[in-house]
Amino acid sequence: MATYPQHKISLPVIKRLPRYLRHVQLLQKACVETVSSSELAAMLGNTASQVRQDFNCFGGFGQQGVGYNVVLLCKALEQLLVGGSHLPAILIGTGRLGCTISGFLGSTGAGFHLTAAFDNAPAQIGTALGGLVVQDVATLAEYCGASPPEVAVLCIPEDSASGMAQVLLSLGIKGFWNFSQYDLAAASPGVVVENVHLGDSLQSLGYRVRNI
Amino acid sequence: MATYPQHKISLPVIKRLPRYLRHVQLLQKACVETVSSSELAAMLGNTASQVRQDFNCFGGFGQQGVGYNVVLLCKALEQLLVGGSHLPAILIGTGRLGCTISGFLGSTGAGFHLTAAFDNAPAQIGTALGGLVVQDVATLAEYCGASPPEVAVLCIPEDSASGMAQVLLSLGIKGFWNFSQYDLAAASPGVVVENVHLGDSLQSLGYRVRNI
């Protein structure tokens, strides 16, 4: 039996997977048993052909003509996206945004485990954040040597993000959830970065509403 | 003299504008006077041809062969993205995420003005949020009749977001900054929606780190 994925999946396909999962989870909640690629496409606003192509990257998830079994499809997507052991993650920057995001990271079933939080502000260091105590960012290398994290969540200003990202890369961090405005993906091609550029999103919204 | 934009600008172009602005602002801070499309492309990880095509949608911003004047380019992009009067916005959902986002909306120069915040939880109603007092969501229609907002920020759970979005559309809301997991853009095609699906972003990150 073939094992999937057998080749590198393209980023746009990966980015669509969570949306598929959300819609399939809704179908499962609604006790729908099967769903066709056309029905899924209509829910997501894309095409049946794209749904089938996307799913074929992972072996197809179902039989042609019969539609997808919702329970099995849901399980397969969950396995792809949040399956396996939780990824150890550290938070850099424990301001308002950092605290909110750490709560989010801890509360979802997204497959991560926040193991430590760091800041450089004396007022923050030593304070409680969830079940953690905020540590001095000066101790970062020591911490990463002892308990290697795989992911860093960057909730720091743009001007500190550039230097911090290089430090984290040198300490073996593989992926970044980047809330800073720093363009980490452009500066370090090949590094796994998921950007949440709130400012960009807000500016796009403003432009679009002003130019309806 | 031609006025731009003369035609509907495509969404991918609009989404790239804030990134251009961020990089051009950095050049301006660094006192760089001119920048070529190739240099901009290298900073952003795209192509010179795409930079020129994108800018041509707005009249070009500069002269061929000379490069772009950084100060003028910065001003032009700022005018496009945050120029004009501030857009009145309301916040729906004043939990942890809503509070953080409202702070963000108030602190950036993104061209919005938060005029009111609503919740349905008795514990939240009447509490202070920035300079506002959280109002009962039951009074939403009355508020929108008296002070029509243009944008709504949705920081509510997926299962309430669907109904709330329909209410807000009927009250004349033109654009949504959507932090809920609800797929508003798929459900209401044609409505201006900027999604910040934190869960999707986190799942993509997890998949990519697990499959490096």
pLDDT for the residue B7: 65
Best residue of B94, B196, B209 to probe chain A, by most A CBs closer than 10 Å: B209
Q: What is the mean pLDDT of residues A163-179?
A: 96
Report residues of chain B scoring pLDDT below 50.
1-2
pLDDT for the residue A2: 46
Distance from CA of B17 to the nearest CA of A (A): 8
Q: Do B210 and A21 touch (CB under 8 A)?
A: no
pLDDT for the residue A108: 66
Q: Find the residue in B nearest to A181 (Cα).
A: B22
Burial B74-83, CB ≥16 within 10 A → b, else e: bebbbebbbe
Distance from CA of B114 to the nearest CA of A (A): 13
How far is it, in rounded angstroms, from Cα B105 to Cα B115?
11
Give A70-129 pLDDT, tens digit per residue.
Answer: 999 999 999 999 888 899 999 999 999 999 999 888 776 778 999 999 999 999 999 999
Q: Do B22 and A181 touch (CB under 8 A)?
A: yes
Alpha-carbon distances, residue B84 vs A182, A206, B8, B100, B109 (angstroms): 26, 10, 19, 25, 12
Best residue of A202, A207, A208, A211 to probe chain B, by most B CBs closer than 10 Å: A202
Q: Do B23 and A87 touch (CB under 8 A)?
A: no
User: Residue B204: which of A15, A22, A210 has the nearest Cβ?
Assistant: A15
pLDDT for the residue A147: 92
User: Which residues of chain A make contact with B197, given a CB cutoff of 8 A?
Assistant: 18-19
User: Which residues of chain B make contact with A23, given a CB cutoff of 8 A?
Assistant: 183
Q: Do B100 and A103 touch (CB under 8 A)?
A: no
Name the band, by pLDDT with cuts 50, 70 and 90, for residue A1. Answer: very low
Q: Do B108 and A202 touch (CB under 8 A)?
A: yes
Beta carbons of A23 and A55 less than 8 angstroms apart = no
Average pLDDT value over all residues in chain A: 91
How far is it, in rounded angstroms, from Cα A43 to Cα A119?
42
Distance from CA of B129 to the nearest CA of A (A): 14
Q: Do B203 and A110 touch (CB under 8 A)?
A: yes
Q: What is the mean pLDDT of residues A18-38?
A: 94
How far is it, in rounded angstroms, from Cα A65 to Cα A43?
19
Q: What is the mean pLDDT of residues A187-201?
A: 91
pLDDT for the residue B83: 83
Q: What percent of chain A has pLDDT over 70?
A: 95
| Closest alpha carbon to A194 in A79, A73, A112 | A112
User: Residue B203: which of A81, A103, A151 has the nearest Cβ?
Assistant: A81
Q: Find the residue in A nearest to B188 (Cα).
A: A45
Q: What is the mean pLDDT of residues A190-212?
A: 92
> Is the Cα dihedral A126, A131, A137, A138 positive or negative?
positive
Name the band, by pLDDT with cuts 50, 70 and 90, for residue A16. Answer: very high
Burial B138-167, CB ≥16 within 10 A → b, else e: eebeebbeeeebbbbbbbbeeebbeebbee
User: Residue B175: which of A100, A111, A209 has the nearest Cβ?
Assistant: A209
Beta carbons of A49 and B176 less than 8 angstroms apart = no
User: Residue A199: which of B18, B23, B175 has the nearest Cβ?
Assistant: B18
Across the A:B interface, residue pairs with CB atoms under 8 Å apart total 176
Look up the pTM and report it.
0.90
User: Residue B22: which of A183, A204, A210 has the nearest Cβ?
Assistant: A183
Alpha-carbon distances, residue B199 vs A31, A54, B24, B158 (angstroms): 23, 20, 31, 12
Distance from CA of B82 to the nearest CA of A (A): 7
